[in-house]
Structure 1
Amino acid sequence: MKKMQTAFLKIMTLIILTLLPALVPAQSLGSLLNKADSLFAKKQFTQSFDLYQRLHTEGEYSAAMFLKMAYIQEGLNKPGLALYYLNLYYLASADRQALHKMEELATKHQLSGYESTPMQQAEELLAKRKVPLVLVFGCIAILLTALAIRQKRKGSRPVALAVFTAIWLLGLAWFINFFEAPQAAIVVSNNTLVMNAPAAGASVIGVLGDGNKVLIAKQADAWIKIYWDGKPAYIRHAQVKELAL
């Protein structure tokens, strides 16, 4: 009995020692969030924003935190950062009122890139529901395969079903491996130069102001490739913030 108790105590001690390093930072970050919220409530916005930003850098966030950060940046008349955090709030909460607020800010500051087409909305919806859709499509693929095998065992030749199943499986493989919603970014620097090539000596073909939204076609070191008036163009990565949690 004593041996069992000793073994149990050793196991519990090992578990506690293993979890303790993870629990202490979590508690520390939780107290940091409480402090930031307290400062925000006292309207000490600059100090609270610094703490929220620190939490975000640590990979900790909440939808409410992003909304407060957007409010602070809007108050400082920084539309780029305000829209950036509003976008993050929308990604974290799916609150469609955030879309209306973004459109309102974009209109107020005459910013581009916020026009949402039905195609973009469909791509965003598919990206958000990718995991459950893969499960559903995978189950359908299994059923189709089982049905084709069953018909073959009965002596029939399910050519049409086999072809359809093969196409379905190829489509599913493409969806799993290659489908992604277009990655977007917000320009957070005034007078961001749009170049015709990813090089400092390239020709300037346009200028983007703070707060404009762009779709990223490709990233290349210090540059990101976008499309400017339907043509490939490049801007510096340091002058934008990517919209991703």
Structure 2
Amino acid sequence: MKKIILFLTVFFGVFSQSFGKQSDNEQLAKADSLFAQKHYTESFELYQELVFDKQLVSNSMLLKMAFIKEGMKDYGATMYFLNKYYDRTLDQGVLKKMDTLAKNAQLQGYEFGDRAYFSNLYQQYYDLFNVLIFLILSLLLAGFLYYNNKSVTAKWSFVAASWALILFWGLELNIKVDGHRAIVSFPKTAMLDAPSAGGDVVGMIGAGHRVEVVGHQDVWTKILWEGKAVYVKDHNLQLL
């Protein structure tokens, strides 16, 4: 009896997953069809559900959603989807697009350079980079064990190289390459000097600006704006 119950549980689990995947594919096909017919509002709603509710994301979908929002002059959402696309692909073409759009819309926080490029490259291949360090460290350990009783010079060379790599790895794991970033998503977002409704409003910030996130407290996010730390409500930001 238990074997039958287990079999049915596995069967229906696999069936439901297959059905869910088929349903998602049908929804994606419908969204692509609507986009091709220039029914952008309807297609965006379907894409949005797939991306945010079902975690089904593709590079093509991000570009199409950015295109739709740019046509609606919703630069906050446009920059959000372009950022997500760039983080996945490091496409220099979309980087130029973001730079042009930021200049035309007078948006801040989009200064791009070699440091930003290598930072994104590092974050994209973070796991692979650490696996590579681990493999090199394993090879050094194997070399140390092999030469332990054969060559004193070679043995201590492996020891020195291993400790240098361990030190570098420790620093690499703890270093902060870039802070978390976010896109302002609300057209008129108040910036306060304290994480409280009773704080003083020190300025307003529009949608589309990209800011660095440096802290969080309750429903408030601490960001850097023009070199100063200010607080905005969480729901006014889209984290990258």
TM-score range (shorter-chain normalised) is 0.7 to 0.9
| Alignment correspondent of 2:224 | 227
Matches within 5 A, 1:209-224: 209-224=206-221
* Cα displacement (A) at 1:14: 6.9
Distance in 2 separating the partners of 1:228 and 1:160: 49
Q: 2:189 aligns with which of 181, 187, 192?
A: 192
Q: For the Cα contact (< 8 Å) 1:191–1:207, is it kept in 2?
A: yes
Report SS of the residue matched to 1:227.
strand
Worse-superposed segment, 173-182 or 60-69: 173-182
Q: 2:163 aligns with which of 162, 166, 185?
A: 166
Superposed CA offset, 1:49-90 (max 9, x none): 111111112111211111111111111111111111122222
Query: Are 1:34 and 2:37 counterparts?
Result: no
Identity of aligned residues (%): 31
| Alignment correspondent of 2:75 | 79
Residue identity matched to 1:215 = E
Q: For the Cα contact (< 8 Å) 1:127–1:181, is it kept in 2?
A: no
**Cα root mean square deviation, aligned:** 2.7
Q: For the Cα contact (< 8 Å) 2:75–2:208, is it kept in 1?
A: yes
Report SS of the residue matched to 2:152.
coil
Q: 2:39 aligns with which of 39, 44, 48?
A: 44
Distance in 1 separating the partners of 2:119 and 2:94: 18
Worse-superposed segment, 48-57 or 179-188: 179-188
Distance in 2 separating the partners of 1:22 and 1:174: 42
Residue identity matched to 1:26 = K
TM-score (norm 2): 0.85
Q: Which runs of 5+ in 2 are unaligned?
A: none
| Alignment correspondent of 2:62 | 66
| Alignment correspondent of 1:4 | none
Residue identity matched to 2:83 = N
Distance in 1 separating the partners of 2:126 and 2:238: 24
CA 1:14–1:189 in structure 2 vs 1: closer, same or farther (change >3 Å)?
closer
Residue identity matched to 1:44 = H
Aligned length: 236
Q: For the Cα contact (< 8 Å) 2:90–2:120, is it kept in 1?
A: no
* Cα displacement (A) at 1:43: 1.3
Distance in 2 separating the partners of 1:233 and 1:30: 43
Query: Are 1:129 and 2:125 counterparts?
Result: yes
